[in-house]
Structure 1
Amino acid sequence: MGILSRASYIIRSKVSSLLDRAEDPTETLDYSYEQMRDELQDVKQGIADLTTQKKRLEMQKQRLEENVEKHNEQARRAVEQDREDLARKALEKKKAKMNQIEELETQIADLENTQDQLVEQKETLQQRIEEFRTKKETIKARHEAAEASTKVSEAVTGAGEEFEDVNRAIERAEENTEEMEARSAALDELQDEGVLEDQISDKSDLERELEEVATEDSIDSELETLKSDVEEGGTSEEPQSDIEMDDEIEQELAEIDNEDSN
């Protein structure tokens, strides 16, 4: 596999891994669950803000009610002192405060209605979140079980992209091994035939031929000497038992001895 092929394989593997993670339903379910929890938190925060606002209006109403009592007391004292003008002025202020109290009561009632609605929505949303969480965990468990089962099946059957790459790697390794074995066998055959020795040797063809002639002359001379000794009736020493003879020569000599004895 070349450098570009390996780089392409690595990039394809990483892209495939990213796509698998992007399409992972368990992550999608977890994300949806977190979104629902965020919505629930927003509803709770809204209820808290409404409660604070309602409490602020109730405190303002309480101060106005205290002012109403104060202006009512002022009007009574003004009448006692025969100050009708002051009594009228105090009653006007009392009436204005009472109008403000009525407006606050309307706003407080509206806030209470909104608050009740939000509380009801919060409880409904919270129940839905719990149901979704249970379903989410069930689906995640099923998905993980199916994913594990798929991986085991792919491992047993050799399916899937990873195992396809493994199979291709095995095929390449087998091809390389067979090629090396064939090369080794060819080299052994050439070595047995003496071709490699001729190629490696520094001697020229002429030098090798001269050596072969000299060897043959030496063998012929020694053979003539042995023949002369035999004709003169001389005996050669028996070979020592501990001297190893060539198996092929020894076998041929034994066959000749058997023929002579017969």
Structure 2
Amino acid sequence: MGVFSRARDIVSANLNAMLDRAEDPEKLIKLMIQEMEDTLVEIKASCAGAMAAEKRARRAFEMCRDKAGLWAQRAEMAVAKEREDLAREALAEKRDLLDQAVALEREAGQTAELVGQYQAEIRQLEEKLASAREKRRLLLQRHLAAQDKIRVRKEIRRFETADAMLRFDKLEGRIERMEADAELVDYGRKPTLEQQFERLAYDEGVERELAELKAKAAAEKE
């Protein structure tokens, strides 16, 4: 496959459609990028060669044209000296050089056209390569995000299993037993002397307030 035909196939390729059909999009786009990069190197090398060939053809064209001008001057000089034989040979040399110049000019034009095609292919392929690289970056981001999502969901499912809930229930039961044990520490314990006097003071205050309420109610009835 030639460089041009391979480049056109790559440029015309629909990346989205190819990625949708691929079983491993990351692997496919990596191969495509490598293919584009290799093709781009080849096209640039071919373009550089064509540009050099165009310059050589144009230099040769100018040289032939200059020599043709020189032989034209010699033909004029030969005529002036009445040397028609030399003038005829000089004109023949001039004609040959002009014919070569025409061929070289045509060659330079064709090579320039080829350089233009190469440059257009290079621009299109570079745009396609930039797009492929961006898609690869996005694919890698999506791949990492998907991996994180899978990991998180696995963790959630792990804690949603019956075994996990059973462990939580057992832990809750242990805590409840510890709370009950803490309450039983003081249960049935004889109050201290200070606690008994505090209780008497509390009961006395309640009785006094109750007597005041009764007296107030009796006064209102009168």
Tell me whether the two structures share a fold, i.e. TM-score over 0.5.
yes
TM-score, normalised with respect to structure 2: 0.57
CA shift at 1:24, angstroms?
Answer: 5.4
Tell me which amino acid in the other structure corresponds to 2:103: E
Q: Secondary structure of 2:106's partner?
A: helix
CA shift at 1:157, angstroms?
Answer: 3.6
Rounded to whole Å, the distance in 2 between the matches of 1:72 and 1:90 is 7
CA shift at 1:31, angstroms?
Answer: 2.6
Change (3 A) 1:55 1:43: same
Tell me which amino acid in the other structure corresponds to 1:65: R
Rounded to whole Å, the distance in 2 between the matches of 1:157 and 1:24 is 27
- Confirm or deny that 1:80 pairs with 2:80: yes
CA shift at 1:49, angstroms?
Answer: 0.8
CA shift at 1:58, angstroms?
Answer: 1.0
Q: Secondary structure of 1:82's partner?
A: coil
Alignment check: 8 A CA contact 2:29 2:132 kept: no
Rounded to whole Å, the distance in 2 between the matches of 1:136 and 1:130 is 10
Tell me which amino acid in the other structure corresponds to 2:115: Q
- Confirm or deny that 1:136 pairs with 2:141: no
Rounded to whole Å, the distance in 2 between the matches of 1:69 and 1:98 is 9
Q: Which runs of 4+ in 1 moved over 6 A?
A: none
Unaligned residue ranges in structure 1 (runs of 5+)? 1-22, 159-262
Rounded to whole Å, the distance in 1 between the matches of 2:140 and 2:96 is 64
Unaligned residue ranges in structure 2 (runs of 5+)? 1-22, 159-222
Higher relative contact order (CA 8 A, sep 6+): 2
Deviations along 1:31-89, whole A, 9 cap, x unmatched?
32122122122211111110011111111112111210111111111111110000000
Rounded to whole Å, the distance in 2 between the matches of 1:56 and 1:65 is 14
Deviations along 1:105-138, whole A, 9 cap, x unmatched?
1111111111112211211111111122112211
Question: What percent of counterpart residues are identical?
Answer: 25
Deviations along 1:140-165, whole A, 9 cap, x unmatched?
1101211232234335545xxxxxxx
- Confirm or deny that 1:64 pairs with 2:81: no
Rounded to whole Å, the distance in 1 between the matches of 2:50 and 2:112 is 8
TM-score, normalised with respect to structure 1: 0.48
